[in-house]
Each structure stands twice: as C-alpha cells, then as structure tokens.
Structure 1
C-alpha cells in the first residue's frame, strides 16, 4: 500500500522545483527544471515528471498539490504586470498623491466616479454615466480593472455595482478593494487593488498551467497555493486574489526553513535568481508585518511575513561604473537572462554575437547584451505605443544584439518599457556567469559566461587601467560584490527589526567592520543567531556571507527546495473582521461579513457581530480548502469614559479559523 504523498511545487524566476513529501518520513524525492515563462506548464511538467521518476511512485499516491511562487513578488520588484484601469468611487484626483498611489499608477488610466459611503455605511449616490461613456474604449487598452470605493470596507455596494457593469461590458478580470482588505485607508487599499489587478493574468496563467498539466497526468486532487503569511489557500481563491501570493515563495521558504532546520530563532535568507528575501524567525514563528507587506517600494495592505525583499540574486544585472579612478561594481535590481543560460537555450545565436563583439577593435556601449522575447501570448502585449510595437516587432524568439537593435538613444527607454511589461528579457552578465567561470556552477554554457566576462574585462577605469587583471579576477570581484551586498541586505533587515536607524550601505563604521580593517580601534559586527541560507546557490554563497557577519551558517540539505517543502507543510488560515459603530446615541450599526444591520441594543449588536465573524471565518477557511477548521475570536473595543459613562466609538470582532488542507482519499 503506497502512503499518501504531498506534491509541493515552487515556481521561481529561474527554476521550478518539485518535491514529493510524506508526513511520516519527510522529503521522498526532489527535482528542478527551468521556469518557462512563455508556457509555465513546461517547467512544471519537467520538474514533476523528474520527481515522479526519481521516487518511482504512481500518480495515484499523490493526495494533495501545493504551489508556492515568487512570480508575483518578482513582477512587483521589477515593475512588471499587465496594464490595469483604476476606478475610484467617491475619491478625487488629490487622493492619488497619498500612499504612493500616483507613482504605482504610472501611465495606467484612472477614472473618478461620484459615490461612496461614510464610516457607518451610509451612501452618497453613485453616478456611473462617465463609466458607461468610456468603458468600451477603455476595455481595449487594459487587461484588467481595479475598483476602490470610499469606505467600501463598511459598505461594498457601489464597488459591486461598478464591478458587475464592467464585467457585463468588458468581460475582463475585475478586483474590488473590499475583497482584499477590511482596513481603512482608501488610497492604500486602492494601491493594493491596482497591484492585484496587474497580477491577475500572470497568476491565472500559472495556476491554469499547473492545473492543465496535472489533469492531463491524471493527478485529480485538491490544489493549494501559499499565501504571503505562510498560510494556504485554494487555487480558485488565489486566482481571484493573486496579491495575497506576493511573498508566497518567501513565506513558504520560512515555513520550510523552520521544518528543515528545527531552529526556533534564526535569520532566514533565501537567494533566488531575481531576489534575496530576509526574515527573522522568533520562537519558531515568522513575524507578520502589521502594517502590510512592502514589495517593490510600495506598502500594500496584504498581511504577510515581515520579509524584506531585495533586488539581488544569482541572475542580477552586473553594472560596471567606470567613471571613478577605481571601477565599482553593483548588482541588481533588474534580473537578466544569464549569458550562460541564454547560450544553453539558444546556442550559436548568442555565442556568435559575443565572439564577434570580442574580436571588434573598439568596444561598443551595448556589448555583451542581447534581447529576446519572453514568449508571452500576443494578447498580453495589448496597449503598446507605436514605437514600442515597432521595437517589439524587431525582437524575436532568438536573441538579437542590443547593438543591432538600438539605433537611437530614446529606443533604450522603449526597450526598458517592454522589459517592465514582461514581454522581453535582456541577456547579459550576471553572478551566475561569474560562478561558471570560477567552476562553482556548471549547469549552463560556460563558454558564453567566459566570453561575457572577457568583454566586460576590457572596460577601463578612470585611470585608463583595465578593471580586472584577468577574467577569473573579474568573476571573483562579482562574487565578492554579491557577498557584500547580501551582507548589507541581511544587516539592513535585522537593524530594522531592532528599530536601529543605521543604513549599513552608508555607514563607515559598518564598512570598517565588514572589511575587518585593522586599526587601534577595531570594529566588529555579528548576528545573535544562526543564518539559514536557502536557495539552489545557497551552499556556494552563504558560507562567505555568514563569515562576513560573524555568525554560524545553517544550510539544510534540502536548501534548494525549501520553498516547495514549505508549500506542503503549512495550514489553511482565514481571518474575518466585523465592526460595530454608533452613528448616534442608542443606535448600533454592524458592518462586515454581510449586509449592514441596525440595532438599538449594544449587546445584541455585539452578539450578531461575534456570530458573523466566527461563521464567516469558518466558511472562508473551508472555501480556502481547510478540512476541519477551528476558530478563535478576539475583540477590540474602543469605548473611552466620557463624563462618567463609557461611550462606544468602535468595536472590532476578529475571528481566525485554521486547519490542515483537504486531501484526496484514494481507494488503493
């Protein structure tokens, strides 16, 4: 009799990982395949087929599939995502200036409609005439819509009416702000909703790709997705609220790190191709960010682990600043397709360009860089400007040298916009290439890595000297830079946890400590707990990083698939908040988890609010995939004493329900 096995899948920017996990014995088998952005099912099927072959088990042994992903996080860090239309109900243009909303909106369209509600749920009449006028044209310019209504968390009626009208006319995905958060703060809720709308098509494609492959393979079992707080939700719910999967990968890695190391107190740092994610484990649990997750510089309303994400990874862009007397290297925040990987995928199309550029008597400003389409479907390239469309038309599925592609300076900005839309990859020099030259990685094309480094090594600094004495010396400089930037990122995250106002990237004292500079006064710096290094490249990078930070490195054997392990050992959790407010003496309004209700007795209103919160939390946990959830309730009552008697301002009833996910029970 085959035991129940859980299949964990983690889709990262570079690799897709798969693990088969037994609740009795742990990791049974693990495998990796390259993430294929044009068709995510290819990467998923590659990893899953390999792990099934390694484990030598039938697909009928699998009783649950759980998915974690860094795609949403990476998209927001790199400024990617679809074009979304933002509908603001009851707000004005001045509200865009708050909470970074204007910056996040960029060039995406926004429409203001009269309407909205007050704090007690009373409405200002909704006028949809401007929406009806612009909707047919607007629908052709965007891939999704985001709706934010004034005090919609107290009464979502206007958001729902606008949503229904948009769906009726455009048939595009629509996100309402009340579906994502019950917190007040309209502009930040609008920002969260906008980012959610941009991610809908990406996460929809990922989940759809997984489901199609699993169905074709005969794996018909419940599918879960890791949320940003480490909890699990059903795939159907993740499709509606993809913003909740930002920091899904990092959250899964924390759950996985705790399981794999058994450490209660640790710094967990997970290095991927695009990002490094740092968080603190305290008493066996990751701390949640009470203010909401910050990703790509934007503070969202998504409850997630207190994780700091930095645009630094094995596939980060290597930037050479040759203006000073001594050249300076910097990594990130953009992800490049490493030259070694581009050549592994496209062979001579990459190698011939690099060889030709290396033979040229004069170096070109775009040497060592190429562009290639990511392979996204054509409908996701909607709304391109004429100059963007023209440049996109010249980029194919085989890499083309930037030197041949860019004939005028403005085209560089046009190319950057295509990269930001996720339509084009730039192939260029990365730490992964440096590792190939140093012999510490060997999975891709080492010849392309060496050619790229030879081209970069020709660069001269301000004194006219080559920036490195040899290709190997330059490769080591790149790796040393990654060690230093990683150490600074980890320090920054830890100092923030300590509420210490020190910027390690600018502090001379920290610089001296990290460099171990000798002197009469010696500076040293260390962490008070082990550094858990996760990610496929953790064993090659983290021993040096831990040494720089004077702490012990804890790199578990399954460090390369910690996210996929975390995806299957987590719990389903749902939280619901119901409010009671008093607009006038003796009147109590219950809002949240249903229609507004009016009472004249405070205790009756409180009783209804408690029952609503618990019932909805349990229902939500079941909808999210929990088998037998249990609920706990806490109450927050703001009722100060005024002139000898207590006066209710607001009461909040917060119910949390949790349980293990449902699994398929096969008849063996």
Structure 2
C-alpha cells in the first residue's frame, strides 16, 4: 500500500497495535487481509511515555510507507500496571472504610497492600439485603484537609456496597467536592462479596490511576500530532478490549493486559490450541495455559505481586524474572549461588547507551580500586515522573530524592551510610527512582547473544560483579565470560522452573511446594543416581518476547518438550492488542429480605417486587440495558448480548423456597473503527 492510499474495504483497514513494556515499546501494523504489515521497537521512556510510543509508532509507519491518517483503529496493551504491582510501586492513596473495623485490615493482605498509606474508618454500610446502617462521615471531613495535600487519590469501600452502593457514592461525592482528587469506589470494580478483598482491589486501582492516565494521555497526544483520528482501545486482563476512557477509571482491569494480549497473539501466530505460553520481558515472565484455543481464566481473580484481586483475568502466573532482573549473590554458603529478581534494574549496557561515557568512566574508576566496594556497578537516577507523585516523603527520603538527578549517579558517591540504602529502596518502591546494575541482559551482551546496547559497559559490570567473594574469599568468577555463562544458566533454570510450576499448579498441585521436592530438583538438573527422574509436559511451549529466541530453545531442551518461538513473537503483545474483541459483563442479584419480597440489586438500581418472575424479568431487562451501555462505553457499537440465570432455591417438605438468583449479562463485539 503506497503513501496516502485508502484501503479498499474493511478487511484491508490498517490497525495500529502498541505494547508499552517495562523496557521496550512495540508497534505493529496489521490488517485482516494482509496480517502483519510492519513492526518496530523503541525503548520505553518512563520519564515521558509519549517519546517511546512516538518512536515505535513512527518507525512502523515509516517501514510500511503509509499515511498515518488512514489508520482506522489503535489498540494498546501494557505491562506497566502489572510491573508496578510486582515491584510494589504506585502513588500514595488514602483508603476510606465504611462500616468496617480495624481488624478487617488483617484480611486478604489488605494491611500489607496499604503499607504506610493512611486509612479512615467511617460508620455506616449496609446489610446483606442492602438495608442501610447510620452513616457518620465526620471522621472523614476532619481528615480531608490534611489528606488532600499528601495523597494522589482515594479508595472507598463500604460494607455490602455490592448490594447497595449509596454510602460509597455519598463519600465519593464529598471527597471530589473537597479535594478534586480521583476516587475509586469498590462497587464499580466488582459485584462479588468479601469486603476486605474488594477493598484491596480498590486500593490497587486507586494507586494505578495516575500511571495509566499518563500512558493514555501520552498515546492520545502522539495520535493527535500525527493526524490519526481513530478510536483508542486498551487490552484488559482477560484479553478483551476496552476504550481508553473506560480504562482510565478502571486501570486495575489492565493488570495482566500485556500477558493477556500475548496469549491472544500467541494463538494467532501459531494456530496452536493447546500450549504453555511463556512471555519474558524486562521485568517479568508471564506463564499461562492455552486450552482448546482459549486462555484459561482465573475465576477467583488475578494474583499479581502476591495480592489476590477481584479482577477477572487470564489464569496467568507472573514471576519477577526477566532480562533486566536484579542479580544478587547468595553468599551465605561456601558455594554461593545467583538469585534473580524480582526487582528490575536498568541494565548497565542500556544505561551507557542512553547516558554516554560518564557511566563507563565510573565503572572503570571502581575497577581500578584495589578494594571491592559493596555498591560497585550500581547507579541511581530519577524516573522522571511528575513531582506531584513525590508527595508524602519523609525528611530523609525528600533529602535523598533532591540529590538524585535525571543523569545516573554511582551509589558509592551518592550514599554515605547503610541506612541510606533503605531510604533509596523506598524511593524505588514509590516509582520515583531507578537503580541500574548488572543484569541478564548485560550477561547476554558479554556472550554476544545480544548486541543492541553498549557491550563495553556490560563487560565492565561483569568484571566488577565477578570480583565478589565466596565463603572462603575466592572471586565468584574468574572471567567476565564465566560469570555471564553462570547468569545465563541461572535464567534458563529459573525460566524452566516457573513454566513447570505453572503446569503443576494448573493440575491442582501446590506449585511452589512441589517444586521444592528433591525429585523435581533431580529431574531439572539432569543428575541421576541409581534412580533417574524425568518430567513430561503434555503440550509445547510457545516462547514470546524480544529475548525469547535467546532463552526458550534451551528451556525446551531442559524440560524435554518442543519450544516454538514463532516469527513476530517479539511483537506478540502488540499484535494481540489489535486482533481481540470488546467484551464486558455485569451481574444482578435477587434476594428475599422477607418472605414475599424479591429485591433486585443491579448496580446502583435497587427495586422490590412481590413476584419472583416479575423480579427476574425486570433484572434481565435492566441488565441488558446496563450491559449495552457499558459495551458502548467500552468501545463497540454492535454488541451481541447473552444473559445467564443462576436461580438457587431449597425444597423442604415439597415446598419450594426461593433463596437467591444471580443473573449475568455479557456483551461482546468488534471495536468500532474510524470511517
């Protein structure tokens, strides 16, 4: 297709897929008639996401030699939300608990997720039938003036809000009126019971709003500047597409967005119906099962960063393992071993590529020192996020943050005490600061398996790391190449472990506990005594990610199974973003608070009926209206709607007694495209 040419029909219409990962931003142009027309990569620029998006998209448009104005749909997936939860990052928020007690924070990991973020308890909430208790918002009104200047948003969760959200709505309106900050209500995210887990999901959502908002704004800015007037979609955690406006208010639904898109892309690229899909990025490895052509969904909600949310998503196991994983030396034993992740570092090779000779000069200076420094080969630099996200820092955190610049600074010059290391780690956890150091990506540069960044910096980093001592004072490795081979072998071994752990967990076993068994160790190491042990997997592995060709053929050999790394596997996420469908679901509950009264709760609508069939008919009708409107908001104009009923009743002495009914409406369709 030549520049300025118009596509002949909708099968020729060009769609732009973008995936913003922790290290790379990928872009692909695709049409139903021609498949992948062009693809490109650019480094993700966290300080200004628009820059990385523009670089990748401009490259793919230039490669295809098309007028960007003819692009009819833009769709994006991202690992930013997933990575933030894995690394414990996000904005400082306040949680408002309505009708709950302090002890509820100890359930579902809520207190751990909150960390040092403030919480306000308010009397109120509802019972199981949606009947209100007295609401007392005085504690919130007292706290709001102080909170307004120290948090980036609010999470609100009320007791039984899924049966009646009126107290959440009242508190939401008050917070917005007094502070102007974003507010997430728990009933907007889930219709399931279990208040503390709903509160946890709401907290994580509130933390992610600023991050996803920046990503969407950056993308919209780029599209406007290039004259691309097409709908912008975002991949949800179950692989479905939603509009960017929809994603802005529900960023929690984009956790596992990148991995979900990769599953859709893997199925599209290979045609395999049954496979283990493993996608390795810079920060995480995501493993899931493709079963009969569809990704398995987790009915209990996605688990990310150790937290079980109420977000329906692919049954994906996310591990803090990637090409940019932090490498640490477990030197407690005489024979030390390497540990990888879960934290991501900026690879030294990438740092030198972006920041030039100063990085090399500091590494060479450290190498010339006769004394091994515990901070050698490590740098700090600001991530470049807006200053507003630095609200609420302690005095020591603020002082250190002020001394950290956009340009990398060696830690041996920046830090003067051990206590400052903990302060620095807190700034990293807040997403304000990056640490750079030696990573598996650097090891691959040393071995010549990667050549895209600065190999000299990688080699200097390997020399510094190899100087570390084992339990009896010997250097950990004799040469940079020897160290790099150990790092490469450690990543192969860990990648094999996470794939096998996922397979065991999908079979109903305790994955981590089973992996610790000596027989599993013997099978993976290939060592045997009188008895040999082998493990078989019933389906091939599909390896995805830019570095997949480097690692996964060897991973397949370790596990004794075929490992496919399909063409275009490096942009599988971006491809999966444009071949999916919009799909949304809503539920309504019918309860019987007293005999003869059938109460319908459907979102913010509550109505009582004297007849069960009338209540069911009304619930289905209102659900169809609500899901049709939700589907339009999510980005499709031609939704197909299905409604299922789960009616629960008991029969005692031949008399039927209604207990409850749950109706679920699902709307699905292709996203709207520009005309």
* DSSP-derived class of the 1:647 partner: strand
- 2:672 matches 1:653: no
Q: What is the CA deviation profile of residues 93-133 of structure 1, one whole-angstrom value per residue up to 9, with x for unaligned ones?
A: 11111100011011000000011111111101211111111
Indicate whether 1:515 and 2:525 are aligned.
yes
Q: 1:209-608 maps to which residues of 2 (within 5 A)?
A: 209-501=218-510, 503=513, 505-608=515-618
Q: Secondary structure at the match of 1:224?
A: strand
Q: Deviation at 1:366?
A: 0.7
Structure 1: which 5+ runs fail to align? none
Deviations 1:302-345 (A, max 9, x none): 00000000000000001112232112001000000000001111
Alignment partners' CA distance in 1, 2:141 and 2:105 = 22
Verify the 8 A CA contact 2:69 2:226 in the aligned structure 1.
no
Distance 2:595 2:537 in 1: 55
Contact 2:295/2:315, CA 8 A, preserved across alignment: yes
Q: Deviations over 1:574-594 (max 9, x none)?
A: 101011000111111000134
* Matches of 1:322 and 1:287, distance apart in 2: 40
- Matched residue of 2:72: which SS? strand
> Quick one: distance in 2 between partners of 1:422 and 1:112?
28
**1:625-664 correspondence runs (5 A):** 625-664=635-674
Give the TM-score, by structure 1 length: 0.99
Distance, in Å, in 2 between the alignment partners of 1:504 and 1:485 is 15
**Rounded Cα–Cα distance in structure 1 between residues aligned with 2:240 and 2:418:** 47
Counterpart secondary structure, 2:298 = coil
Equivalent positions of 1:176-187 (< 5 A) are 176-187=185-196
Structure 1 position 25, deviation (Å):
1.3
Does 2:57 match 1:40?
Answer: no
Deviations 1:593-624 (A, max 9, x none): 34210111111011101111222112211110
Deviations 1:506-549 (A, max 9, x none): 22111111111132211111211110000000000000111101
Q: Tell me whether 1:106 sits opposite 2:121 in the alignment.
A: no
The answer to whether the 8 A contact 2:162-2:603 is kept is no
Aligned equivalents of 1:470 and 1:324: distance in 2?
21
Name stretches of at least 5 consecutive residues in structure 2 with no aligned partner. 1-5
Which whole-Å CA distance do the structure 2 matches of 1:17 and 1:501 have between them? 35
Identify the residue that residue 610 of structure 1 maps to in structure 2.
620
Give, in whole Å, the separation in 2 of the partners of 1:356 and 1:468.
Answer: 20
Aligned residue-pair number: 665
Residues in 2 aligned to 1:587 and 1:483: alpha-carbon distance in whole angstroms: 61
Deviations 1:377-421 (A, max 9, x none): 111111111100000011111111111112112111110000001
In structure 2, distance between residues paired with 1:339 and 1:440: 16
- 1:505 CA displacement: 4.3
Once the two structures are superposed, residues 615-653 of structure 1 have per-residue CA deviations (whole angstroms, 9 ceiling, x without a partner) of 211221111001300011111111111232111111001
Q: Residues 59-208 of structure 1 correspond to what in structure 2 (within 5 A)? A: 59-208=68-217
Match of 2:3 in 1: none
Quick one: distance in 2 between partners of 1:594 and 1:102?
29
Question: Cα RMSD (Å) of the superposition?
Answer: 0.9
Residue by residue over 1:181-208, the C-alpha shift from the partner in whole angstroms, topping out at 9 and shown as x without a partner, is 0001100000000000000000000000
Q: Provide Cα deviations, 1:61-81, integer angstroms capped at 9, x if missing partner.
A: 200000100000000000000
Instruction: Confirm or deny: 8 A CA contact 2:70 2:228 kept in the other structure.
Output: no
* CA distance in structure 2 between the partners assigned to 1:328 and 1:505 by the alignment: 18
Q: 3-state SS of the aligned residue for 2:605? A: coil
Say if 1:617 and 1:655, in contact at 8 Å, map to a contact too.
yes
Deviation at 1:504, TM superposition (A): 5.1
Question: SS at 2:488's partner residue?
Answer: helix
